[in-house]
Amino acid sequence: MARHCEVCGKTASVGNQVEIRGKAKYLGGVGTKVTGITRRKFQPNLQTLKVELPGGQHKTLRVCTQCIRSGVVRKIVKQKPFQLPTTPKT
């Protein structure tokens, strides 16, 4: 199973890991130097989540945190929220 969001399709992106040594000039050093650049992967932050689909069914999906925070997917409600009993006024 590939590491991708099943809602928006976000996958891993590629970048550089830069290794630096030396002391910055503003701290009194002679400046920083780049001593190595290697390729690396930035993985998406995926969470396994039980989701309620528009038809009312429940399904487990691997969803990125951006989709969860933006409200694209909706978690299932495991238990109804507590409500105070209402008594009729006489």
Report the CATH number at residue 59: 2.30.170
Q: How confident is the model over 42-90, as pLDDT tens digits?
A: 999 999 999 988 888 899 999 999 999 999 998 888 787 788 888 877 6
Alpha-carbon dihedral angle through residues 50, 55, 57, 60, given to the nearest 10 degrees:
-30
pLDDT at residue 90, as a whole number: 67
Residue 7 to residues 10, 35, 41, Cα–Cα distance (Å): 8, 40, 21
Let me know if residue 6 belongs to a domain.
no
Let me know if residue 23 belongs to a domain.
yes
Let me know if residue 51 belongs to a domain.
yes
What are the two backbone dihedrals, phi and then psi, of residue 83, each rounded to the nearest 5 degrees? -130, 140
Residue-number span of the structural domain to which 65 is assigned: 13-70
Q: Name the domain count of the chain.
A: 1
Q: How confident is the model over 34-43, as pLDDT tens digits?
A: 999 999 999 9
pLDDT at residue 1, as a whole number: 53
